[in-house]
Structure 1
Amino acid sequence: MPTFHIELFEGRTVEQKRQFVEAITKATCESLNVEPNSVDIILTDVKRENWATGGRLWSDADA
């Protein structure tokens, strides 16, 4: 069973997440020939202050 752990910045709506997981599930079923109920997706919302790229917090990018 494919399991996806996806981390994203917080702020997406439930509807955006719903559309996202539906699209991932569909693509997984088509490419791996599995049933939708075998696809698990775990979304983790992350605050920008808890994510850094290149030694810089994303929360500092707005400053």
Structure 2
Amino acid sequence: MPLVDVTITEGRSPEQVRALIHALHSAVVTTVDALPEHVRVIVREVPRSNWATGDVTVEEWKGPR
């Protein structure tokens, strides 16, 4: 049972998140020959203020959305 766990920063529309889930699901079914009903996809959204690279948060680097 394949599990895809993706973490992204908050700020995408529900339609974008849904499209991501669809694309990931399709990629797993196609590439590892998994049954569609066995594929699990988790999308975790993290606030931009809680994600940092080199002591700079995404919010500080890119600004608030």
> Mind listing any 5+ residue stretches in structure 2 that lack a counterpart?
none
Q: TM-score, normalised by structure 2?
A: 0.85
Query: What number of residue pairs does the alignment pair up?
Result: 63
The Cα RMSD (Å) is 1.4
Q: TM-score, normalised by structure 1?
A: 0.88
Q: C-alpha distance in 2, partners of 1:20/1:60?
A: 25
Q: C-alpha distance in 2, partners of 1:59/1:11?
A: 11
> Mind listing any 5+ residue stretches in structure 1 that lack a counterpart?
none
Q: Is the partner of 1:49 in helix, strand or coil?
A: helix
**Shift of residue 9, structure 1, vs aligned partner:** 0.9
**Shift of residue 55, structure 1, vs aligned partner:** 2.1
